[in-house]
Structure 1
Amino acid sequence: MHSIISPIICKINNVFIHVSNLEESAKWYSDLLGLPFHKSNVKSPVYNIPLPSETGLTLDDHTFDPDFKLQPSEHVLFNFFVRDIDEAYEFVKSKGIIIVKEIERIGDFAYFNFKDLDGNVLMICNN
């Protein structure tokens, strides 16, 4: 069997989330992730959440694309990792965030799904 050489690096570099209000979403995601929020750093059309990881998270309000129509994803876009699923669930719930799937446990693996401000479905899981 021959190996195929690809110029594409096997790494997710950045995740984009389409939002309707960049400032509100930047504040919401910063609060969810326990990151400092500085309104002065939010400049349309995109805001890069300052994550301390290799994969980036960018919010995009499409200011310069007047034909763009936001269509929130009803399917999970990606997941955030947690060590304690129950603690994370209570934290998210305490913020009044809409939970769309209660904690599901499959052996040692557990997850739940929730919606962001625009209705995009996201997941939190422990693996």
Structure 2
Amino acid sequence: MGKQIGSSLSVLVVSDIARSRRYYREVLGFDVTDWWAERDGLNGMALKLHQAPEGFKPVPNPAETGADTGIDVQGYTETWAGLDSLYEEFKSKGAKFAREPVVYEDLGPWKEFVVEDPDGYHLAFGGIDGGRAHNSIQPQINAGILWVRDLDLAVERYGKLMGLQVREEDRYGKLHLFHIDNGTHLMLDSHGMEEAPVTERGAPLLKLSAYDIERAKSEALQHGFEVVYDIQRLPTVSYFNIRDEDGNVLMITQDLVSF
């Protein structure tokens, strides 16, 4: 059996949920929906914002012994360059800081700053400056890009295939950006594709995971994808390949053992 817990969310009870949603969206740059507020996907910093019942006042965490500021949510950044960029972004949007950036030399060194939200909750952002700190390219894959001809059709099909919400604010002209739970994105791009020929054969461009390989195959067919390589079963993994009407090939896998 593969990984069973994909992510976790911190729950914050807030006094005015509309105000909190606005703050997290406009000041801290979170993607805010009716279900959660997240930045860099559900494996980045993800929160549940719950409206406090009448008469209840939110109670942020107290400071631990010897500290001056309590922490309710802790975020980690890969480099100080990324941390500094985040600080400048928050500052430019009027964020309130409970602690300005400080370096703790005996902890790595560790650099950190703390943001305060409208209810007094403290969100700490920090990290250790490692060997990658001076690289201009981060060791992450930010997005997968698929070229498509009919953007509306492709958005509908991929939204159904992956169970993703289709939102107007994620459409940028001839491009649509899906926000994936692990912090990456799926970009469907139709710029200049009207007359481009369909690729007849190709290697998989993306790999997606499934909980049930047979059900995944059935769903893919139901959503209009073509199975170009049927289910293969190995001791540790099962997989098959599908293809869309634009020639994009995806591999669907199910891990059979935990690593």
Matches within 5 A, 1:7-86: 7=135, 8-38=137-167, 42-63=171-192, 69=196, 72=199, 74-86=202-214
Bigger relative contact order, structure 1 or 2, given CA contacts below 8 A and separation 6+? 1
Point out the structure with the larger strand share: 2
Distance in 2, Cα, partners of 1:11 & 1:41: 21
Q: Does 1:109 align with 2:213?
A: no
Structure 1: segments with no counterpart, 5+ residues: none
Q: Which has more radius of gyration?
A: 2
Report SS of the residue matched to 2:160.
helix
Are residues 9 and 25 of structure 1, via their aligned partners in 2, closer, same or farther at CA, if it must alter by over 3 Å? Answer: same
Q: TM-score normalized by structure 1? A: 0.79
Question: Where does residue 87 of structure 1 map in the other structure?
Answer: 215
Runs (4+) off by over 3 Å: 38-43, 68-73
Question: How far has the Cα of 1:97 moved from its partner?
Answer: 2.2
TM (norm. structure 2) is: 0.42
CA displacement 1:44-98 (0-9 Å, x = unmatched): 22100132221211001115x89x8355462110111112212211222333421
| Preserved CA contact (<8 Å) 2:202 2:247 | yes
Distance 1:125 1:50 in 2: 21
Flag the 1:105–1:116 CA change in 2: closer, same or farther, 3 A: same
- Asked whether the equivalents of residues 170 and 178 of structure 2 are also in contact (C-alpha less than 8 Å), the reply is no
- Give the CA RMSD over aligned residues: 2.7
Q: Is the 8 A contact 1:22 1:44 kept in 2?
A: no
Over the matched positions of the two proteins, sequence identity in percent amounts to: 27
What is the letter of the counterpart of residue 52 of structure 1?
Answer: D
Aligned partners of 1:40 and 1:75: how far apart in 2? 31
Select which of 226, 236, 239 maps to 1:98: 226
Equivalent AA in structure 2 for residue 59 of structure 1: L
The farther-off stretch of 108-117 and 92-101 is 92-101
Q: Is the 1:109–1:125 Cα contact (8 Å) retained in structure 2?
A: yes
How many positions carry a matched residue from both structures? 122
Runs (5+) with no aligned partner, structure 2: 1-130
Aligned to 2:114: none
Q: Who is 2:248 aligned against? A: 120
